[in-house]
Amino acid sequence: MVRSSGRRQVIVVDRLRKAYGPAPAVDEVSFSVEEGEIFGIIGPNGAGKTTAVECIAGLREPDGGTVRVLGLDPQRDRAALHEHVGVQLQEGAMPPKIRVAEALELFASFYRHPASADELMVLLGLSAKRHEYFKRLSGGLKQRLSVGLALVGNPTIAVLDELTTGLDPQARRDTWELIEHVRDRGVTVLLVTHFMDEAERLCNRVMLVDHGRVTALDTPAALAESAGGGTHLSFLPSVPFSLEVLTRLPDVSEVVRLGERVQVTGTGDLVPLVLNALAHVGVQTHQVQVHSATLEDAFVRLTGPPTAAAPLAEVGRR
């Protein structure tokens, strides 16, 4: 199937349902993933992310709905799917005394058209560790190896679950670069993550799942903008002024006095818009601070407890 963007849909999920007990873990989830994109699934603990990707990878049988991966049914066509989908799931346990190269070669033997273990070790920065026991690898190198095992079958699609959990900041950044490299080689990536900065950096589109349901699906920037409330600009004005100077501006949604400071919320090119309008009426701005909404803001707003009412005294709204 082809979307309006002209790209092929390689994963199509329609009203997927899976329950382990009375409450559904995945409840009527529908989405599709386009060829060549990095598609992120985010959500709180227990939201149903892993269950959903396990159904897509053919590791769990859905209770309802349909899943198609490259046109294949993950349950019925499991053997064919295995050749095209590489899976790195949570807690991938390996025998402690297997060596890096042995692990890649063993997994390569499960596929008809595997990648070269040597090339993968170069790509993954593991060549110098090829004879190292798995148990002796650092967390970052173990993670790299588990990504390698997901790629060793030369998959069209890689499913990566909690790719960088437990890694230090440098190892996380190295792993992100690796995933971008994998994407640049044409592999479609389905990524489950708890890290909003990771989703923001890597994903073309992100789906937010909560209590088994899809609560948002868009680009990280659009999600941040829509649910995170846009950009916040705050400053200390040189002289008092009427808030109406700012509330009447296009793209400004709210203006609030917080003690001596003024905070403006809006979208678009908010900063030059506000500073120009103030300069026009002879107001200078000091101690200017700008905060643009992030995916994390959107996540908290969409999944967290309701936020408290607007702060303090005078509030101007459009």
Ligand X SMILES: Nc1ncnc2c1ncn2[C@@H]1O[C@H](COP(=O)(O)OP(=O)(O)OP(=O)(O)O)[C@@H](O)[C@H]1O
**Closest separation in Å from C-beta 252 to ligand X:** 38
Task: Tell me, by CB under 6 A, how many residues bind ligand X.
Answer: 10
Q: Is 146 in the site for ligand X (CB under 6 A)?
A: no
Stretch that binds ligand X, among 41-49, 105-113, 249-257, 270-278 (CB under 6 A): 41-49
Q: Is 40 in the site for ligand X (CB under 6 A)?
A: no
Phi/psi for 75 (5° steps) reads -80, -50
Among residues 52 and 117, whose Cβ is nearest to ligand X? 52
User: Chain-centre distance of CA 141, in angstroms?
Assistant: 22
**Closest separation in Å from C-beta 91 to ligand X:** 10
- Of residues 46-85, those binding ligand X (CB under 6 A): 46-51
Q: Is 45 in the site for ligand X (CB under 6 A)?
A: yes
Among residues 48 and 58, whose Cβ is nearest to ligand X? 48
Task: Give the whole-angstrom CA distance, residue 238 versus residue 233.
Answer: 16
First and final C-alpha spacing in the chain: 43
Show the site string, 82-121: x = touches ligand X by CB under 6 A, - = not: ----------------------------------------
Phi/psi for 285 (5° steps) reads -115, 135
Distances (CA, A) of 158 to 6, 46, 112, 221: 21, 22, 17, 24
Closest CA to 303 of 30, 29, 47: 47
Task: Give the whole-angstrom CA distance, residue 306 versus residue 308.
Answer: 7
Q: Which of 10, 16, 25, 94 binds ligand X (CB under 6 A)?
A: 25
Residue 150: Cβ-neighbour burial (10 angstroms; 0-12, 13-18, 19+): buried
Binding site for ligand X (CB under 6 A): 20, 25, 43, 45-51
